[in-house]
């Protein structure tokens, strides 16, 4: 919910102190009922996670997490009532990911999710008409949970980041996942007739009186869905705060000084005028301007793909010290050029994996390697002159 890369957690602490409250404000505005605690949440610095939990207008749930004193640090479940219809919601996290790891807050102990679920569901069923499990277990373990624990009506899962375009039924349990990173919203509709406790049937199929029906759609948050003005206001506040507090500079941790393995476009242009002229006509040459136009030039998440070598030793340093490393320049793809003499250390052939560092599903879902190479014009002609087997 709060960050993407565990290896960068310590470096990004200044960013998280700004971002986490914004995430909570947004979820409060959207009207969330509950959030399941994931294993990455447990890795947050203590004060950031505590502030997030205390600032939420909804509970963070986890039935199988225990702190170092053996006590549950989060509510195990929530009960909501709708016109007399009582819904129990509980959370589970996978012990495979977190067991034995040590976190900022000390050692968390994660109980067996199946044993925990049996106890919680038995308790919820005493007073609830419907039970939902929020899980960070993965699809395979979601099915194991449904097979092993009776009484769970719906499992809304995570961890494996799978987009399930069709919900799956295991016994008397519907299992669904909507992917990750908030790129889709899962819409699950269920219909339960009075007294109905039969099997789940997809809406539109022939049913019996006792059957329960459901429909599931992962809705992609594309441009045809208008942004909510309150959320846009929060985002603008976030972007301004990043710039005012110079968060990108804190995250980059770049020291001042002339020593750098990177030379900048001006030096590349001295020996490669034709390539530099072609580059200047490409979208890469205007990548930083795109951020300025969107007020994202202070956002470390965006800078990493719109400048050259952000947060790398000697790379782009936010501010006025190195304007030569703004935009996606030669060295962003071919490597640092300070030691370059002839072939030197420059990577003449840029593999697809380098491009996908930024052109991933989150930022560039339409990316196709060869199609995008053609946008570079004659700069990529050498690639297409090679036989397909050698590309």
Report the pLDDT value the prediction gives residue 173, as an integer from 0 to 100: 96
**Torsional sign, CA 81, 86, 87, 90:** positive
* Cα angle 146, 98, 69; round to 5: 105
Q: Is 349 exposed, middle or buried (0-12, 13-18, 19+ CB in 10 A)?
A: exposed
pLDDT tens string 181-202: 888 999 999 988 776 677 888 8
Strand order in the sheet with 184-192: 184-192, 212-220, 200-202
pLDDT at residue 320 greater than cutoff 60: no
Q: Which CATH superfamily is domain 257-390 in?
A: Flavocytochrome C3; Chain A (1.10.1130.10)
Taking each helix axis from N to C end, the angle separating 46-55 and 13-30, rounded to the nearest 10 degrees, works out to 10
pLDDT tens string 118-161: 999 999 999 999 999 999 999 999 999 999 999 999 999 998 88
Q: Which residue intervals of the chain bear CATH 3.60.21.10?
A: 6-184
Report the pLDDT value the prediction gives residue 23, as an integer from 0 to 100: 94
Tokens of 367: 């990316």
For residue 110, report the phi and psi dihedrals to the nearest 5 degrees. Answer: -115, 120
More confident residue, 30 or 324: 30
Report the pLDDT value the prediction gives residue 262, as an integer from 0 to 100: 86
> What mean pLDDT is reported for the chain?
87
Ranges of H-type helices in 197-281: 229-244, 247-252, 265-271, 273-280
The string of DSSP codes covering 68-119 is TTS--SSBSEEEEEETTEEEEEEEEE-HHHHTT-EETTEE-EE--HHHHHHH
pLDDT at residue 251 greater than cutoff 60: yes
Report the pLDDT value the prediction gives residue 204, as an integer from 0 to 100: 82
The band of 389, judged by pLDDT with boundaries at 50, 70 and 90, is: confident
Q: What is the mean pLDDT of residues 202-209?
A: 77
More confident residue, 29 or 257: 29
Question: What gap in Å lies between CA 297 and CA 261, rounded to an integer?
Answer: 23
The band of 379, judged by pLDDT with boundaries at 50, 70 and 90, is: confident
Question: What gap in Å lies between CA 189 and CA 187, rounded to an integer?
Answer: 7
**Torsional sign, CA 338, 341, 343, 345:** negative
Assigned fold of 6-184: Purple Acid Phosphatase; chain A, domain 2 (3.60.21)
Of the candidates 88, 152, 148, the one whose C-alpha atom is nearest the C-alpha of residue 124 is: 88
Tokens of 311: 């947060």
Q: What is the mean pLDDT of residues 73-81?
A: 96
Report the pLDDT value the prediction gives residue 263, as an integer from 0 to 100: 85
Report the pLDDT value the prediction gives residue 45, as an integer from 0 to 100: 85
CB 259 within 8 A of CB 338: no
Share of the chain above pLDDT 70, in %: 91
| Lowest-confidence segment of 202-216, 298-312, 325-339 by average pLDDT | 202-216
Look at residue 243 and give its three-state secondary structure: helix
Q: Which residue intervals of the chain bear CATH 1.10.1130.10?
A: 257-390
Helix (H) or strand (E) holding 383: helix 381-385
Question: What are the distances in angstroms from CA 307 to CA 320, 368, 375?
Answer: 13, 21, 19
Provide the whole-model pTM.
Answer: 0.86
Tokens of 27: 């979820």
Tokens of 194: 């009075």
Give the end-to-end CA distance of the chain in Å, rounded to a whole number.
39
Exposure of 87 in the CB half-sphere (CA atoms within 13 A): 14
For residue 174, report the phi and psi dihedrals to the nearest 5 degrees. Answer: -90, 135
Report the pLDDT value the prediction gives residue 162, as an integer from 0 to 100: 86
CB 196 within 8 A of CB 209: yes
Averaging pLDDT over each range in 59-68, 114-123, 354-363, 364-373, which range is the top one?
A: 114-123
Report the pLDDT value the prediction gives residue 373, as an integer from 0 to 100: 84
pLDDT at residue 295 greater than cutoff 70: yes
The band of 207, judged by pLDDT with boundaries at 50, 70 and 90, is: low
Report the pLDDT value the prediction gives residue 382, as an integer from 0 to 100: 76
């Amino acid at each position: 919910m709060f960050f993407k890369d565990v290896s960068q957690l310590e470096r990004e602490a200044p960013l998280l102190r700004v971002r986490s409250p914004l995430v909570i404000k947004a979820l409060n505005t959207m009207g969330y009922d509950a959030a399941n605690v994931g294993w990455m949440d447990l890795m947050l610095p203590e004060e950031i996670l505590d502030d997030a939990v205390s600032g939420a207008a909804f509970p963070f749930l986890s039935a199988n997490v225990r702190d170092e004193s053996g006590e549950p640090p989060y509510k195990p479940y929530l009960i909501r009532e709708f016109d007399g219809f009582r819904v129990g919601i509980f959370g589970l996290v996978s012990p495979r990911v977190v067991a034995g790891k040590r976190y900022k807050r000390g050692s968390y102990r994660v109980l067996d999710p199946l044993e925990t679920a049996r106890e919680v569901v038995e308790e919820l069923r005493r007073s609830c008409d419907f039970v939902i499990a929020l899980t960070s277990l993965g699809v395979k373990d979601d099915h194991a949970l449904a097979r092993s624990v009776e009484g769970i009506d719906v499992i809304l899962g995570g961890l494996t980041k799978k987009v399930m375009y069709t919900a799956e039924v295991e016994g008397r349990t519907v299992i669904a996942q909507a992917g990750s990173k908030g790129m889709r919203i899962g819409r699950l509709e269920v219909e339960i007739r009075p007294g109905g406790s039969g099997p789940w049937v997809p809406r539109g199929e022939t049913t019996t009186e006792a059957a329960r029906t459901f429909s599931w759609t992962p809705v992609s948050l594309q441009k045809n869905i208008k942004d909510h003005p309150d959320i846009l206001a929060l985002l603008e506040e976030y972007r301004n705060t990043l710039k005012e507090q110079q968060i990108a500079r804190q995250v980059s941790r770049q020291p001042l000084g002339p020593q750098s393995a990177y030379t900048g476009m001006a030096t590349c242009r001295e020996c490669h005028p034709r390539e530099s002229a072609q580059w200047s006509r490409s979208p890469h040459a205007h990548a930083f301007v795109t951020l300025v136009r969107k007020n994202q030039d202070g956002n470390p998440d965006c800078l990493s793909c719109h400048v050259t070598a952000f947060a790398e030793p000697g790379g782009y340093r936010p501010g006025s010290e190195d304007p030569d490393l703004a935009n996606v320049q030669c060295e962003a793809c071919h490597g640092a050029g300070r030691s370059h003499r002839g072939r030197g250390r420059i990577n003449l052939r840029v593999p697809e994996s380098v491009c996908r560092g930024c052109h991933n599903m989150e930022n560039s879902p339409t990316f196709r390697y060869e199609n995008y190479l053609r946008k570079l014009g004659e700069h990529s002609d050498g690639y297409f002159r090679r036989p397909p087997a050698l590309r």
